[in-house]
Amino acid sequence: MNLKQALLTFLENNLFLKNGTCPICGKVLFATDRFLCHQCEDDLPIISTPTCVQCGRPIFRANREVCSPCAKLNLPFAVGYTHLNYEDSGKKLVHAIKFKDRPHLGIWVGTQMGEAIAKYQWINHVDLIIPVPLHPHRLEERGYNQSEKIAEGIQQGLSQKHSRVPAIVTDILIRSRDTPHQIGQGREERLCNLTGAFNVETIEYIQNKTVLLVDDVLTTGATLAETSATLLEAGAAQVCIATLCAVAE
Ligand SMILES: [Zn+2]
Ligand SMILES: [Zn+2]
């Protein structure tokens, strides 16, 4: 190894993260950064306004506990937690986890979610964590399910806070039908598209269980409503949800 190579290797190992750029602003990451640059990490749009008690979506109107989609459509969630607002850097973060081959970013931000969720009483009643499944074709394309990575992070965060750590189960809820990307569709169109898209295998396993369903983004709530309904019909006692990002009411 010549001197130049040795110097480059030293810099890669000690100063910069290998192949690392911040997925939000594009700056080169230093070894002291983790998955985002310090600035973007500090600026993450962590939700600080009141949230819907059912789905976790931020709500801005005072004296209401439930957002209008949950109230109008009687969405079947017992309780919900959302970490970030789905805007600017929140969107870029989700995009990097889903489409830029950064599964570890999902685990990292999921850990923060788990640490936050550990503060709530309801987590003590959760028996199983189920990530919203991808269709096998999508899973093969992407190589991992982003919601599963977020769920792994949630487990780590819960365990760091010495909270009860429910098991992650990925072979009970199955996406039996591939559905087109839902961007730009209205809620009703989305629900129609999703009807019958999920199945529960081994029904016995979820009888009377409280499930924490994990997804990356809560927009209209159509995917989570359909998956929750499938689990409840199959015998789950109740479904709580945790999403990385949500569109405000
Ligand atoms: Zn950055
Ligand atoms: Zn809601």
Q: Which of 220, 179, 211, 221 has its CA nearest to residue 198?
A: 179
Average pLDDT, the chain: 88
Q: Ligand 2 centroid to 20 CA: how many Å?
A: 37
Whether the pLDDT of residue 18 is over 80: the answer is: no
Q: Cα separation of 152 and 168, whole Å? A: 8
Residue 170 reports pLDDT greater than 60 = yes
- DSSP class of residue 206 equals G
Length of the chain: 249
- Residue 119: which pLDDT band, with cuts at 50, 70 and 90? very high
Report the SS3 class of residue 141: helix
Which of 43-52, 158-167, 190-199, 204-213 has the least mean pLDDT? 190-199
Whether 4 and 50 share a structural domain: no
Does 237 have pLDDT greater than 70? yes
**Interval 96-117: pLDDT, tens:** 999 999 999 999 999 999 999 9
Ligand with minimal distance to 247 CA: 2
Ligand 2 center from residue 68 Cα (angstroms): 7
The pLDDT of residue 11: 61
Boundaries of domain holding 20: 1-43
Nearest to 117 by CA among 243, 12, 249: 243
Of the listed ligands, the closest to the CA of 23 is 1
In terms of domains, do 19 and 95 share one? no
> Both tokens of residue 59?
């709500």
Cα(79) to centroid(ligand 1), Å: 32
- Nearest residue to 56 via CA among 138, 130, 116, 144: 116
Same-domain check for residues 87 and 204: yes
Backbone angles phi, psi at 204, to 5 degrees: -55, -30
Helix (H) or strand (E) holding 170: none
Torsions phi, psi of 245, nearest 5? -130, 155
Interatomic CA distance for residues 214 and 78, integer angstroms: 14
pLDDT of residue 220: 87
Of 204, 184, 182, which Cα lies nearest the Cα of 192?
182
Do 119 and 222 lie in a common domain? yes
Residue 185, pLDDT above cutoff 60: no
**Distance, CA 53 to ligand 2 centroid (Å)?**
7
Cα–Cα distances (Å) from 6 to 21, 25, 30, in that order, read 22, 29, 18
Residue 126 above 60 pLDDT? yes
Q: Is the pLDDT of residue 8 over 70?
A: no
Which of 246, 230, 211, 214 is CA-nearest to residue 47? 246
Give the number of the ligand closest to the Cα of residue 57. 2
Are 126 and 203 in a shared domain? yes
Residues 218, 189 contacting (CB under 8 angstroms): no
Residues 34 and 49 in one domain: no
- Ligand nearest the Cα atom of residue 78: 2
Mean pLDDT in residue range 5-27: 71
Judge if 120 and 25 occupy the same domain.
Answer: no
Q: Are residues 105 and 187 in the same domain?
A: yes
Ligand 2 centre distance from Cα of residue 56 (Å): 6
75 and 163 belong to one structural domain: yes
Tokens at residue 181, please? 């990307």
Q: Is residue 107 located within the same domain as residue 128? A: yes
Parallel, antiparallel or unpaired: strands 210-218 and 238-246: parallel
Distance CA 163, CA 125 (A): 11
Evaluate if residue 160 carries a pLDDT over 70: yes
Task: Please give the tally of structural domains in the chain.
Answer: 2
Q: 193 or 91: whose pLDDT is higher?
A: 91
pLDDT, tens only, 91-100: 999 999 999 9
